[in-house]
Structure 1
Amino acid sequence: MITPEFCQMMARYNAWQNEQTRAAAEKLTEAELRADKGAFFGSIMKTLNHLLWGDLLWIARFDGGAGPDVGPDEGLEMTPTLAVWSAERFRTDGRIRQWADKVLNVDLTGDITWFSGAQNRDVTVPVAQAVVHFFNHQTHHRGQVHALLTAAGQTTGDTDLVFMPEDQKWL
């Protein structure tokens, strides 16, 4: 289904998009970042926090490192400011890239099992499916943030994978 090269490309894409998101979000006031805009998680900050929380949860499943210290509800407030979020986001994106740079074809085979607090049971899925979900989850929620930032008058730049600066061969 997927390859190490796919994981590396998507890890680069994730970091690129998060940097553009950060730059656009920095132009907003704290009140604008925290205002409930009727989105699924309410505000830009809560959505950014959910995205970070989810990334920490999934990368911990893949690399065996630490996951988030809080549950999904508390995860919406896991960073108190955009500056703290930005630092955590940078570290997490580096961790994701390190994992992707080391992943082998064999690592993407077989099943992965974890206890799902949301479902209150063990869940087992193919590793490749979990990795695709991981990257899709990022893109989905960043799309929500993109819409909120655009509605707030900000521009995040290109979001198409084919325009990723580190991957000019796509052009």
Structure 2
Amino acid sequence: MPASLPLALRAMAYNNAWANHRLLSACAGLTQTQFEAERAGFFPSLQATLNHILIVDHFYVDALEGGRLGPAAWANRIPCPALPALKVAQEAVDRRLIAWCEALDDAGAGRTIAVHRGSRVQEERADRLLLHLFQHQVHHRGQAHAMLSGTGVKPPQLDEFFPADEAPLRAAEFAELGWTEQRVWGEG
């Protein structure tokens, strides 16, 4: 377990990216029609739900980086209509979030982030903003996971628990993403 809040937040950023990777990789087994199909959930399709995750990442990662994107993030509710483009865009914003969290130290975790909300600027501590973002993404990935279970594609495991006999699977996925366990957990 990480010894500090910045290390824990960094591990959460990696886990967030890994869960996105696993879910989007599983969705690659769907046709475009299945991806767009109306389903029960807060958003009406896998396409809409997964694009919402991307949009919210753009909104908050931009704020963390000092940007002023604000509500313009929602100008296009489906910025990536097809899964291949969505996967590329999600991986890119996930890398930005990881990079931001890797640079985080104890002082930075408590610093104030300006979140541009259009008519006002909300000030939020970085650690609280990150915890909110991670919770939001888990919430909507869970909805997408449930939607995926209504298709012929088996939903993937999305948390960090893997039995010992599945460690090679995790290692292979981490290698595909360019990571190691040591990097994720800040060891070595």
Question: Which interval holds the TM-score relative to the shorter structure?
Answer: 0.7 to 0.9
After superposition, the Cα gap between the structure-2 partners of 1:71 and 1:100, relative to the gap in structure 1 and judged at 3 Å, is: closer
Amino acid at match of 2:13: A
Name the amino acid aligned to 1:153: G
Q: Which residue of 2 aligns with 1:134?
A: 133
Partner residue in 2 for 1:155: 154
Whole-Å separation in 2 of the counterparts to 1:41 and 1:47:
5
**RMSD, aligned α-carbons:** 2.5
C-alpha separation between the residues in 2 aligned to 1:96 and 1:82? 21
**Gap change, CA 1:125 and 1:64, over 3 Å in 2:** closer
Partners of 1:151 and 1:27 in 2: how far apart? 13
Contact kept? 2:68, 2:116, Cα under 8 Å: no
Would you identify which runs of 4 or more consecutive aligned residues in structure 1 move more than 3 Å?
65-71, 162-170
Structure 1 residues 62-71 or 24-33, which shifts more? 62-71
Provide the secondary structure at the position in 2 that maps to 1:113. strand
CA distance in 2, matches of 1:24, 1:7: 26
Q: Say which is worse superposed, 159-168 or 126-135, in terms of deviation.
A: 159-168
Deviations 1:91-134 (A, max 9, x none): 111111111111111111143332324xx433223322111001
Matches within 5 A, 1:69-108: 70-72=72-74, 74-108=75-109
| 2:12 counterpart letter in structure 1 | M
- 1:47·1:76 contact (CA, 8 Å) conserved in 2? no
Percent of aligned pairs with the same amino acid:
28
Extract unaligned runs of 5+ from structure 1.
none
What residue number does 1:5 align with? Answer: 7
CA distance in 2, matches of 1:123, 1:153: 43
Residue 162 of structure 1 aligns to a residue in which SS? coil
SS of 2:122's partner is strand
Contact 1:57/1:68 (<8 A) preserved: yes
Q: Secondary structure at the match of 1:156?
A: coil
Deviation track 1:111-168 (CA, whole Å, cap 9, x = no partner) reads 3332324xx4332233221110011111111111111111213223222223393549
Aligned amino acid, residue 127 of structure 2: A
- Contact kept? 1:53, 1:68, Cα under 8 Å: no
- What is the CA–CA distance in structure 2 between the aligned matches of 1:36 and 1:25, rounded to whole Å? 15
| Unpaired segments ≥5 residues, structure 2 | 171-179
